[in-house]
Amino acid sequence: MHDDDFRARLRAFLVEHHPGRRPKDRTERLAWQKAWLAKLFDAGYAGPSWPREYGGMDLSFARQVIYQEEYAKARVPGPLGTGLGIAAPTLVKYGTAEQKERYLRPMLRGDAVWAQGYSEPDAGSDLPALRTTARREGDEYIVNGQKVWTSSGDIADVLFTLVRTGTPASRQHGISYLLVDAHAPGVTVRPLRDLTGDAHFCEIFFTDVRVPVADRVGEENGGWPLVRTSLGHERAAGAMNQAARYRRVLDELIELAHERGATADPLVRARLADFEMRVRIMRYTGMRTIADILARGEPGPASSTSRLFVVTFEQDLHEFAVDLLGPYGMLGRDDPHAVQRGRWVWGFLRTRASTIGAGTAEIQRNTIAEQLLGLPRDPAMPPSSR
Spatial contact of 332 and 346, defined as CB atoms under 8 Å apart: yes
Backbone angles phi, psi at 67, to 5 degrees: -60, -50
CA distance 299 to 196: 32
| Catalytic-residue membership of 137 | no
Options 69, 120, 203, 234, the catalytic residue:
234
Sign of the four-CA dihedral 24, 75, 104, 136: negative
What is the bridge-based pairing of β-strands 114-117 and 158-164? parallel
SS3 call for 292 = helix
Backbone angles phi, psi at 207, to 5 degrees: -125, 105
CA distance 332 to 325: 12
Spatial contact of 147 and 110, defined as CB atoms under 8 Å apart: no
Distances (CA, A) of 55 to 43, 51, 108, 174, 330: 10, 7, 8, 34, 45
- Cα 77 to chain centroid, rounded: 14
**Residue 339 region, left (φ>0) first, then alpha (ψ -120 to 50), else beta?**
beta
Spatial contact of 307 and 386, defined as CB atoms under 8 Å apart: no
**Is residue 264 classed exposed, middle or buried when 0-12, 13-18 and 19+ CB atoms within 10 A define those classes?**
exposed
Spatial contact of 164 and 219, defined as CB atoms under 8 Å apart: no
Strand partners, 116: 160
- Could you tell me what percentage of the chain is helix, strand and coil, using 3-state DSSP and rounding each to the nearest 5? 55, 15, 30
Backbone angles phi, psi at 277, to 5 degrees: -65, -40
Q: How many CB atoms lie within 10 A of CB 213?
A: 15
CA neighbor of 121 nearest in space, from 205, 185, 226: 205
Spatial contact of 189 and 130, defined as CB atoms under 8 Å apart: no
Q: Which residues are the active-site residues?
A: 234
